[in-house]
Structure 1
Amino acid sequence: MIQIDSSLEGKEFALFELERLLKPKGFVIGGNWDYDHGAFDYKMANDEGYQFLRIPFTAVSGQLDVKGTTVKIGKPYVLHHVYQGGIAPTAQVSNATAGINQFQEPQDKDGSVAQQYIELGTELVREVENTLLTTS
Structure 2
Amino acid sequence: MKITDTGIEDNLIDLKPLDHAMEKANFVRAGQWDYERVTYDYKIGSPEKNITYYIRVQGYAVEGDVDKGDAVIKLLTPLLGKHYYPTGIEYGEKEEFPPTTVERASTLLKNAKQNFEPFVKN
Assess same fold via TM > 0.5. yes
Q: Would the alpha carbon gap of residues 2 and 12 (structure 1) be closer, same or farther in structure 2, given more than 3 Å must change? A: closer
CA offsets per residue over residues 38-88 of structure 1, 9 Å max, x none? 21111122543221111110111122211211100110121111113xxxx
RMSD: 2.0
Segments ≥4 residues shifted beyond 6 Å: none
Q: Which has the higher contact order (CA 8 A, sep 6+)?
A: 2
The normalised TM-score by structure 2 is 0.80
SS at match of 1:23: helix
Query: Which of 55, 61, 64 is the matching residue for 1:62?
Result: 64
Letter in 1 for 2:55: L
Contact 1:30–1:41 (Cα < 8 Å) also in 2: no
Aligned length: 114
Contact 2:54–2:82 (Cα < 8 Å) also in 1: yes
In structure 1, the partner of 2:22 is 22
Which of the two has higher C-alpha Rg? 1
> Following superposition of structure 1 onto structure 2, how do residues 61-80 of structure 1 map, counting pairs within 5 Å?
61-80=63-82
Contact 2:29–2:39 (Cα < 8 Å) also in 1: yes
Identity over aligned pairs, percent: 22
Structure 2: tracts of 5 or more residues without a match:
none
The normalised TM-score by structure 1 is 0.72
Structure 1: tracts of 5 or more residues without a match:
85-104
